[in-house]
Chains A and B, each alone.
Chain A
């Protein structure tokens, strides 16, 4: 089996997996970072979103063989103490219901705000439309992104 060196949250991990293994399962099953969630496996729900070189990416369809040398950041590494402005806003608004989609939402939102620190409502709504929340916490997510944006300013 091939071996890959992955840089996740600033740490180097060496994993031995088949080359077609999606990053999602490498994270979850092989390096014990289970914050990144499985929802659909086909890039439709956003539960598995991580940052690859700063870009919000669906880890369920990103095979491990493409990732040598990339900077991968997962929800566990988004901030030192869970105090990234997006996380702080999520807490302030008490966004989660079941909570399952929220790591993906936070990762999408944080990458989005990085590029557009001052979004309007319709920009938020279209940036977040690829992240499903089965509990429909969308109103709160929208509000929390506005709060996060004001924190970043």
Chain B
């Protein structure tokens, strides 16, 4: 493993500084690309809205008082990146955390690179460049102090915002030399700290927005307001497969507060004729009726009063149909092979025994607690967009095409997001807001009701897996995974997760079932169910082989150690590490009689995780009491945030596997609000006991990877308690009161 603190980097390429006319220094830097040759940060800075993010994707200001402000345009969706990323800068800059301020920066979209908080990769990508930026700034401050004192820079050191002249013992604050530092050359080389000297990284830091959150300050998209703003509510087709035929708005127009009723959809259709855009544009292709009002309540009421007639434009699908199609495809479909090792056919024909099991999941809505919403103000010279979106760049780009406007006209501000879970990767609500504001030429906030949000979603698609393992002389000789998924499939790298490389004859096949119901990324895409199915299968496989399930994994991992196969994504050593930690911390096999345990281990989203669920049967129902989680995510930057994400992922996963289900009847989603869709609640929540593997490897993300294994840990525990294997989600279906009586 390379030690990051020993590498030296060329700084000039991606860091530029300028002296601010008002005093202090402004550092502009790019996380993932070099700066263009001739750009420098501005010398005047009255407020941060003046900063453009075309040339740099973040700025740091050091004031003459020694205070540091980081303008971070990275969207915050509860993953804590807005806290952990500045921690990296502050660590290397070596300043007290109390002197650091973080502000969400707005976004001018031209040339803007990766400001996306989807996936768990933000922190891994930022790990080196953010620390280098902090270290560079510190070196420049040291150099300035050294010049002032007339000593060599190597005779000076800096700590906690203070520079010490090691010869004379004198000290200077960062603020005392910041004006001089700003005029210096950016040093070519800096050395990063040794991880053992970290004093911010690895310390629990509060979410930077904590004070605003607990006092109810406006932070979220739904909270955004502007003078003259109107509210809009959009009536979309009630069933997937329908489009608007006609409508009567006479009743709606009589409702107090309703200003206007308009239709949109035309612009999206025009655009789709010209360009083959990403499909999330497509979901807007029906005409939609929009009620414009002077308050949210009036807009909601107005929408309810619209009498619309819908026509069927494609078959109206029901859940039974989806299930049948998945079954058909898994048994006879044409598959794409993502990976094949050895000769699976041969292994299966030589087998003493074959274990074959299928698993099936359902549609899931995202149900971000803040319903989808966006603000748009389209005027002749500017398009102002404000709201919660995980893909600002792509969304702004699409808006420019939709309205046939220059990208430079678009000014997009990201707000804090009331949950993302993948839903806010898709900009459908941004395009709607833009099209509406363009039509009415007013600043407008488009708001979804919970019903709109849940019934016009982009869902986690149902998936069916068939796992087969061939067994010869009580060893696993072959492994064949077939996947049938609605409107999606595994990504290629998933075929290189465990047990790829561990079983000689291995095959990973995928096939897609097409549907007119929109499906997309949902927290830990694909793996959110794949892990659950796979690790349930391994539990059964261990039983079939009559060996301990922990041992089965360890034996298989032996086969991968020292592999030269560069496609393999996981580390067998790190998987082993989390297995050992989970076994140790969960008292595996040593719990009281009425507690049943289940185990699962999984690598995904760059992080290695093992989980043990403890359940107890109460009145015939399985109650999850505790989940022990062992995580290897490299360096834990912010333990407080990390803990929150791990626990959240586990409980979120558990809730959805136990209760989550969105069914369809004739194209209509059968749940529309929290009275007909069950989310996990506090009284159903186990205690989650989190343990991190100590590591100084570069950090990996935590927003997703603890979610996937929990389903299997629970299913395996339920099997231990009841002898019932669970092949279908949601699990609570197996424990209906009627089923219990029988």
A residues contacting B by CB (< 8 A) are 1, 17-18, 21-22, 25, 28-30, 32-42, 44-45, 47, 74-76, 78, 82, 87, 90-91, 94, 96-103, 106, 124-126, 128-142
Contacts and interface: CB of A to CB of B under 8 A. Distances in A.
Contact of B651 (A18, A29, A124, A136): A136
Given A34-B218, A97-B644, 8 more contacts: A41-B300, A91-B210, A94-B206, A130-B681, A134-B368, A138-B651, A139-B651, A141-B682
A-B interface, 6 closest residue pairs, ranked by CB to CB distance from nearest: A35-B216, A100-B418, A98-B78, A75-B216, A136-B651, A44-B674
B370 A98 contact: yes
Interface string B231-247: 10000000000000000
Contacts of A132: 369, 674, 679, 681
B449 A140 contact: no
Contact of B77 (A34, A98, A125, A142): A98
A52 to B, nearest CB: 16
Nearest to B215: A82
Contact of B418 (A28, A42, A98): A98
A22 B641 CA distance: 35
B257 interface: yes
Contact of B225 (A32, A39, A125): A32
Given A37-B222, A47-B369, A94-B207, A139 B215 contact: no
Contacts of A78: 215
A130 to B, nearest CB: 8
Contact of B673 (A18, A40, A136): A40
Contacts of A141: 682
Nearest to B83: A94
A140 B231 CA distance: 35
Contact of A35 (B80, B207, B215): B215
Contacts of B295: 17, 21, 25, 29-30
Interface string B22-61: 0000000000000000000000000000000000000000
Most chain A CB within 10 A, of B220, B297, B416, B644, is at: B297
Contacts of A99: 78, 207, 209, 213, 219-220, 416, 418
A81 to B, nearest CB: 8
A42 B647 contact: no
A133 B369 contact: yes
B371 interface: yes
Contacts of A135: 78, 369, 419, 648, 652
Interface in B76-102: 77-78, 80
B679 A134 contact: yes
B165 interface: no
B386 to A, nearest CB: 14
B571 interface: no
Nearest to B205: A94
A106 B210 CA distance: 13
Interface string B269-306: 00000000000000000000000000111101000000
B544 interface: no
Contacts of B651: 136, 138-139
Nearest to A77: B216
